[in-house]
Amino acid sequence: MTPIIRVHHLHKHFRLTRNRHGLLGAVRGLIAPEYRTVRAVDGISFDLARGELVGYLGPNGAGKSTTIKMLAGLLVPTSGEIVVNGHVPWRERQAYVARIGAVFGQRTTLWWDLPVSESLDLLQHIYKIPAQQFQRNLDEFRQLLGLDAFINTPVRALSLGQRMRADLCAALLHDPDLLFLDEPTIGLDVVAKERIRQFIQHVNRVRGTTVILTTHDLSDVEKLCERVMIIDHGRLLYDGKLEFLREKFGGKRQLVVDFAENYSDAPVDGAEIAGRDGNRVTYEFERRVIAASELIGRLSSQYRINDLEVREPDIESTIRRIYEEKLLENASDAAN
């Protein structure tokens, strides 16, 4: 099957003026400016199949936003190839944008002084959405996103969570094949985040919309994405399953055990005691050394147990460790 997105050896370079210190330096800069080249995106290649929901991750300045802007047709690459849904985004802009949706956390596509309902009506005419399709989608999104409480409120009077829900509705009214989401839950409370995550899952699983999600909130990624791509310094360092990152770089797992008796000591081969609170003991163990099932079997054969729980390292700690220790760069260098 032809992928909905095909990116091949994509580059985007920016030519920036070098700053010089002091008045003399400023004058010299005007007369004989010096330039430096920043490789914002440096040879990225990947394919996305229809219906995927992919997390696109990286620290600030890694090249995420530049990539998304090229995919959305807002920037022209320095070199390389992008084909999205059969279109080259920056060459066939009008036909292309009719089949994509985009939500950027700090910007809105709605009209600031108009009620939400009137903004949505305007979008119907801009996208030339048939009346029946528009009404069907609006009814569905009003229910899923809880829009009725503020649909007649001017956009400028909405809370951040309300505006984000309205923007999601606006981005999907025309049934796009592809949805770009940039920080869709930034600054939202826990309840608002969960509602938006459920909606994203719905449009992906039920409607089959392909979704690219960029975010710094890794709980979004953990709840929504099986596949992640990690970019840093313009280079794609990883493209694969989120679970593989956890298994390879996640560090130690924990087994929390509630014993039926207060054992003064409860050692077990293959794990270390990381803490205890009364009859509750927390063990740490390496997944590559021993399986959780085997560890539980060893404990059960030696002690009386009321309850137990296996805890995985959280994905935020795993990704932070990857960035700070440059684990993917080191793995790539070793492979080469």
Give one word for 242, left, alpha or beta, with left for phi > 0 and alpha for psi -120 to 50. Answer: alpha
How much is the average pLDDT of 66-82?
93
**What confidence score (pLDDT) does residue 66 get?**
92
How much is the average pLDDT of 174-200?
90
**What confidence score (pLDDT) does residue 26 get?**
61
3-state secondary structure of 7: strand
Query: What is the pTM for the complete model shown?
Result: 0.78
> Which of the four pLDDT bands, split at 50, 70 and 90, describes residue 335?
very low
CA distance 31 to 16: 16
More confident residue, 225 or 324: 225
How much is the average pLDDT of 5-15?
94
**What confidence score (pLDDT) does residue 293 get?**
92
**What confidence score (pLDDT) does residue 60 get?**
82
**What confidence score (pLDDT) does residue 180 get?**
95
> pLDDT tens for residues 211-249?
999 988 888 888 899 899 999 889 998 999 988 887 777
**What confidence score (pLDDT) does residue 115 get?**
96
At residue 336, does pLDDT exceed 60? Answer: no
* β-pairing verdict for 53-57 and 210-214: parallel
> pLDDT tens for residues 257-268?
999 999 988 999
**8 A C-beta contact, residue 108 and residue 102:** no
Mean pLDDT of the chain: 88
**What confidence score (pLDDT) does residue 104 get?**
81
How much is the average pLDDT of 39-46?
94
Q: What is the 3-state secondary structure (H, E, C) of 73-103?
A: CCCCCCEEEEEECCECCCCCHHHHHCCEEEE
Which domains does the chain carry? 5-246 (3.40.50.300), 252-312 (3.30.70)
**What confidence score (pLDDT) does residue 244 get?**
83
**8 A C-beta contact, residue 212 and residue 48:** yes
**What confidence score (pLDDT) does residue 334 get?**
36
Say what percent of the chain tops pLDDT 90.
60
More confident residue, 35 or 129: 129
CA distances from residue 274 to 94, 246, 280 in whole angstroms, order as listed: 59, 20, 11
